[in-house]
Chains A and B, each alone.
Chain A
Amino acid sequence: MVDQFKEAFREEAFELLIELEDALLRLEEEPDDPETISSVFRIMHTIKGSAAMFGFDDISLFTHEVENIMDLLRAGKLSVTKELIDMTLTSRDYIRIMLEDSSKKLNEEVNTLLAAFKAEVRKQNSDLSEVKSHDVSEVPYRSDDKHADESDPYISDELITYRIIFCPENNIFLSGTNPLLLLAELRELGEISIIAVKEEIPSLTAINPEFNYTSWEIILSTTTPEEEIRDVFIFVESSAEVRITAISDSHDESGKKIGEILVDRGIVKSEDINKILTSQKKVGEVLIENNLVTKPQLDSALEEQQQINTLMERKKTITTSGSVRVDSVKLDELVDLVGEMVTVQAHLSELASHKQDASIISISEQLERLTAELRDNSMSMRMLPIGTTFSKFKRLVRDLSADLGKGIALVTVGGETELDKTVIEKLNDPLVHLIRNSIDHGIESPEERIAAGKPAGGTITLSARHSGASVIITVADDGAGLDTVRIRRKAIDKGLILPDEDLPESELFKLIFAAGFSTSSTITKVSGRGVGMDVVRKEIETLGGMVSISSEAGKGTAIELKLPLTLAIIEGLLVQIDDEFYVFPLSVVEECVEHIQGEHENGKQNIASVRGEILPFIRLRDFFDIKGDQPEIEQLIVVNTHDHRIGFIVDEVIGDYQTVIKTLGSIYKDVEGLSGGTILGDGSIALILDVLKITQIVQKEEKLLT
């Protein structure tokens, strides 16, 4: 159960064993004292029960055998002899040895002892032959697989309708049972209709308020197997009548009705049949008239009919509506076309506003609304819940943790969070990297964990949640946390930091994202030599996302991936240089400040000072080689990439711009520094900047200090 209490169990068991020794010695002096016999039995029983709870299976199985013998003593079917006390004392010593060192297997000794016990029982039984052989457990002493019966029950996805009659006894409340909770539990299993049968409730004067007079008829449509429905009532089997029957749903296919056949054969006309049918009384009414059923009974049956009909109808709608599989290429094309349409619509809106023509303005507004809806709609088609990806990792965690002998559980949260299909696909590899890392380096071995007072098995939590226009995915483990001392040493070895450089913890953590960085000095089968966290970071950044890390020594590590909802639309900052338009991804922009040439500049080194802080910058006009004069007051856009702040100088900032990304086409595929393009409302083109790439290019040319 809870591993941190293992030690508590052992201490307690040692105490019990001392008690047991005392009691056995007392028993030797007063062999017939029932009090002592029952305390010996009780101690064995407690050890057995607790040992099983805390995973000492060998002790539990052995003690169980001895307990059975003690039970015979207690029941007077065996008498206390010196041999018996000797053997019980020996078994006490064996339990002690097994407790002291759980790796010790005393199989041979234990089997010999149990055989001796049984021989003693047989010897005494030759006089008392009525003792049945099965009083001494015949179960062979072995560590059996207690998990065998805990395997997942078979879950069928076929919807079956059950009729459940639940008639509790009058005094059901007196056993602490609340029938309403059972009904609530059933309610969770599927589509349900519950009819309370209240006919038994007596008049107010005769009523006993502590009694239950109600019974229930339940119609439940569920995919849960019948045994599990029965399990709901497990504690009331003896105090309630519970009948569960599957109602066949095939009776509607039972062939043609007699009227139909007669019409088909041309013997009667269908109008005549209808006339007769409408003049006929309903079965229920006839039955009530003849006092064969009561009104409530009929109502309950009608309710059942209703439920089945609704169910049948739903089945039909499911088969007709359902979902359609579409080639994802077609979806991409659709999104692409919608993108074009958004552009054209923007163009139209702008024209309409110039034309001052009311009818055109009205049409353009209508189109604007429709395109917005169409855009959202087609985007949502590409959204998938991330849960399917999450569930793939269950197996990964299970297998890897078994390989490494670490019992690790994967907990997933927020699997229903939706993300663009392409993002989900590209997310697979980085997530595998991160999870492997957690399993291999993050979570300690069971021994280390127990020594640290943690449960032996670790937990990895994989969670997803929305945060504005982003989705945040976290991979968190409850392991040892990052080893700052080792990261430091490694970073110095690799020349990433100076030996005397004093970095705060958060800066140290960021170092693990540096290329080729790994703190694990051993190569393991799971993650090889250090999983390249730099690769993970790069992959996430190509998706327009960001990675951050937090860790606490002894508590664990969490890596957070912040991803855009979709790759097709970008939240951008539109800027202008001369007559050209460019878009910065808004996610990397920190701030915009005015920049007056010369005032904050330091010679030719392209370093500005922003509020006293030194900031290297790139003048995009120079980078793209745009002719013309730069304005006196330029704009400096502060961008944060790879945890470095860099400035970009542009002529003018136009503002927020949400846009559909268009790829640049194969002719421009070798152009560096641009990640795509988009068409503005007036038909002109804006290029989307790949800020990271530009920085790298400039760095290579050694024009930029970072």
Chain B
Amino acid sequence: MAKKILVVDDSAAIRQSVTFVLQQEGFETIEAADGAEGLEKIKGSAVDMVVSDVNMPNMDGITMVSKIRELADFRFIPIIILTTESQSSKMEEGKAAGATGWIVKPFTSEKLLAVVKKLLG
């Protein structure tokens, strides 16, 4: 069965292109425009992985990650955060909140798929 990935980003362009690349590889995707929507959509759906932006209105990515980790169903799923900061501070912050890995923007579709496959097997 196709693995389901939740893609959270306030930029529709990034969301669409990430979704496009993932779907090309046979993944199923769900989209959300910000952390609050992401958190809402993940509940009750069998999501296998989350790919999320950090800076978003309503609820930022880091907060969303820590809230997702509070949900019993999603304590162990891999979560990737997309960050523009190449400094380690944001990544460490993300890791502390429960993110599994990160991708620094700008990234190529190959990089995205490499990390997704690395964490999803």
Enumerate chain A residues within 8 angstroms of B43, measured Cβ to Cβ.
none
* With A45-B84, A174-B75: A2-B109 Cβ-Cβ less than 8 Å: yes
A42 beta carbon closer than 8 Å to chain B: yes
Q: Which residues of chain B have C-beta atoms less than 8 A from A234's C-beta? A: 101
Closest approach, in angstroms, between the C-beta of A183 and any C-beta of chain B?
11
A46 sits at the interface (CB 8 A): yes
A234 to B115 CA separation, bound complex (whole angstroms) = 11
A12 touches B12 (CB 8 A): yes
A42 to B53, CA, bound (A): 12
A50 on the interface (CB 8 Å rule)?
yes
Instruction: State the interface size on chain B (CB cutoff 8 A).
Output: 38
A320 interface contact, C-beta 8 A: no
In the bound complex, residues from chain A placing their C-beta under 8 Å from that of B21 are 1-2
In the complex, the answer to whether A235 meets B100 with C-beta atoms within 8 Å is yes
Main secondary structure of the interface of A (DSSP, over half): helix
Known contacts A1-B21, A9-B11: does B78 contact A45 (CB below 8 Å)? Answer: no
Query: Which residues of B in the span 1-40 have a Cβ within 8 Å of any Cβ on A?
Result: 10-14, 16-17, 20-21
Chain B residues near A204 (CB-CB < 8 A):
none
The number of inter-chain residue pairs (CB within 8 angstroms) is: 102
* Chain B residue at smallest Cβ distance from A46: B11
In the complex, A49 Cα to B95 Cα: how many Å? 20
A90 CA to B56 CA, complexed, in Å:
24
Q: Does B69 interact with chain A (Cβ within 8 Å)?
A: yes
Interface residues on A, range: 35 or more
Find chain A residues with CB under 8 A from B79 CB.
176
Closest to A19 in B: B57
Find chain B residues with CB under 8 A from A174 CB. 69, 75-76, 98
B59 at the interface (CB under 8 A from A): no
Instruction: Verify B99–A175 contact, CB threshold 8 A.
Output: yes
- Whole-angstrom distance between the alpha carbons of A282 and B120 in the complex? 45
In the bound complex, residues from chain A placing their C-beta under 8 Å from that of B20 are 2, 4-5
Report whether A175 and B100 are in contact in the complex, using a CB–CB cutoff of 8 Å. Answer: yes
Q: Please, how many angstroms separate the alpha-carbon atoms of A175 and B102 in the complex?
A: 12
Minimal Cβ-Cβ distance residue in A for B84 = A49
A177 at interface by CB-CB < 8 Å: yes
Cβ-defined contact, B107 with A42, below 8 A:
no
- Are B84 and A181 within 8 A (Cβ)? no
Nearest CB of A to B74, in Å = 9
Within 8 A of A (CB), among B53-102: 53, 55-57, 69, 75-79, 82, 84, 92, 95, 98-102
Cα-based distance from A4 to B13 in the complex (angstroms): 10
Q: Mark A185-209, 1 if CB is under 8 A from B, else 0.
A: 1000000000000000000000000
Contact (Cβ within 8 A) A238 B13: no
Known: A8-B12, A53-B107. A42 touches B100 (CB 8 A): no
The CA of A234 and the CA of B100, in the complex, are separated in Å by 10
Q: Are B55 and A46 in contact (CB under 8 A)?
A: yes
Query: Is B44 an interface residue, CB under 8 A from the partner?
Result: no
A231 → chain B closest CB, angstroms: 10
Closest to A48 in B: B84
CB distance from B25 to the nearest CB of A (A): 13
Closest Cβ of chain A to B35, distance in Å, is: 12
| A54 pairs with B13, CB closer than 8 A | yes
Interchain CB contact under 8 A, A49 and B105: yes
**A48 neighbours in B (Cβ, 8 Å):** 84
Assembled-state Cα–Cα distance A53/B118 (Å): 22
Taking the complex as formed, is B119 at the interface, i.e. its CB lies under 8 A from any CB of chain A?
yes
What's the Cα separation between A238 and B118 when bound, in Å? 18
CB atoms of B10 and A46 under 8 A apart: yes
Binding site for A on B (CB under 8 A): 10-14, 16-17, 20-21, 53, 55-57, 69, 75-79, 82, 84, 92, 95, 98-102, 105-109, 112, 118-121
Listed A/B pairs (29) with beta-carbon separation below 8 Å: A1-B21, A1-B106, A2-B20, A5-B20, A8-B13, A9-B13, A11-B13, A12-B12, A42-B55, A42-B56, A46-B11, A49-B53, A49-B82, A52-B84, A53-B14, A53-B17, A53-B106, A53-B107, A54-B13, A173-B76, A175-B99, A175-B100, A177-B100, A178-B119, A181-B121, A184-B121, A235-B95, A238-B95, A239-B95
Given contacts A1-B112, A176-B100, 20 further A-B contacts (CB under 8 A): A1-B109, A8-B12, A8-B17, A12-B13, A52-B105, A53-B13, A53-B105, A146-B106, A174-B69, A174-B75, A175-B98, A176-B77, A178-B78, A181-B119, A181-B120, A184-B121, A185-B118, A210-B75, A235-B101, A239-B95
